[in-house]
Amino acid sequence: MTFVGGSVAVSAFLADAPSLTVQSLRYAVACLLLLLYVFLYARGRVLRPRGTEWLWLGGVVLTGMVVFNVALVQGSRHAEPAVLGVAVACVPLLLAVAGPLLEGRAPAAHLVVAALVVTVGAALVQGLGRTDGIGLLWALVTFACEAGFTLLAVPVLGRHGPLGVSVHATWMAAVAFGAGGLFWEGPRAILRLHLDDVLAGAYLAVLVTAVAFVLWYTCVQRLGSARTGLLTGIAPVSAAVVGVALGGPVPGLAVWVGVAVVAAGLALGFRSEPAVPAPAPGPAAEQSILR
């Protein structure tokens, strides 16, 4: 979430770049890095999805990556960034309720309260901003897509693990954005990229995608989606800090209060109960065959 929060400032350098082409390259590079890690260091291989797993993984890509990015672009034309940020900050509440249900457990009351506290703190950090009706609609789409990125991965984490889910999500996203880039931006769009675009894209590919995806899904598997969702509150705090580091103004009092509230919500959510044990991988997950 620290890397994701930092991407807010970094993404500003891509404002004039062919966005679909950049996204395709980002996910393609991330996928190659993940495959190199799997084959050289993880001593395992990526399992081929089967049956309904294609639908779950496709849902992760469609909602959490493709539609999510479209919603951010379209929403920014009708709403201030803070509105979209607050929409994302509401995700912990949904994960605190829906996540345990998908995992076969009842929602924990103290995690729901902690999610509410984190959401309030993140909203203070982001600010509320102004929007119109269309902007509000795109904010709701952003909220649903951010939740889908986590919830739709839960059914396939047991067999594929964080690395497998990340590999399949990135290659599928690279294909989807690549097709869109060829159709709307043309095959020569890559020639319009400048050094700033390449450096920003490299940050997104390595830290925000290859590293952050694996870290995030590892947390979902080990801690449960409800607790992991609380960590979303770190992203706006990171965005504020990185903004200052890149020359932005020092945040006002409301932001610092929001940081404290986020910290309080995290403290509440991560105390009292032990972490949810990771589901035992099925026999297929232990095979070292790329099918």
| Residues of the chain predicted below pLDDT 70 | 8-9, 128-129, 272-291
In this prediction, residue 277 carries a pLDDT of 52
Name the one residue in this structure whose structure tokens are 């690395």. 163
pLDDT digits (tens, 9 = 90+) for 121-170: 888 887 766 777 888 898 899 889 999 999 999 999 999 999 999 999 99
In this prediction, residue 289 carries a pLDDT of 30
In this prediction, residue 273 carries a pLDDT of 58
* Contacts with 16 (C-beta within 8 Å, 6 or more apart), sequence order: none
Please choose, from the candidates 92, 89, 70, 184, the residue with its C-alpha nearest in 3D space to the C-alpha of residue 137. Answer: 70
The answer to the question of residue 234 being in a domain is: yes
In this prediction, residue 281 carries a pLDDT of 52
The answer to the question of residue 284 being in a domain is: no
Residue 17 is given by DSSP the state S
The answer to the question of residue 136 being in a domain is: yes
The answer to the question of residue 286 being in a domain is: no
Q: Hey, what are 39's tokens?
A: 């084959």
Q: What is the mean pLDDT of the chain?
A: 85
The answer to the question of residue 190 being in a domain is: yes
Please choose, from the candidates 22, 20, 47, 49, the residue with its C-alpha nearest in 3D space to the C-alpha of residue 35. Answer: 47
In this prediction, residue 260 carries a pLDDT of 92
* Contacts with 183 (C-beta within 8 Å, 6 or more apart), sequence order: none
What is the sign of the dihedral through the CA atoms of 18, 19, 20 and 25? Answer: positive
pTM: 0.85
In this prediction, residue 70 carries a pLDDT of 84
Q: Is 79 helix (H, G, I), strand (E, B) or coil?
A: strand
The answer to the question of residue 288 being in a domain is: no
Number of domains making up the chain: 1
Q: Are 42 and 225 in contact (CB under 8 A)?
A: no
Q: Hey, what are 123's tokens?
A: 């909203």
* Contacts with 275 (C-beta within 8 Å, 6 or more apart), sequence order: 222, 223, 224, 227
Q: Hey, what are 165's tokens?
A: 């889910």
Please choose, from the candidates 13, 75, 10, 3, the residue with its C-alpha nearest in 3D space to the C-alpha of residue 235. Answer: 3
The answer to the question of residue 23 being in a domain is: yes
The answer to the question of residue 290 being in a domain is: no
What range defines the domain where residue 220 resides? 2-9+18-42+50-276
> Which amino acid would we find at residue 156?
V
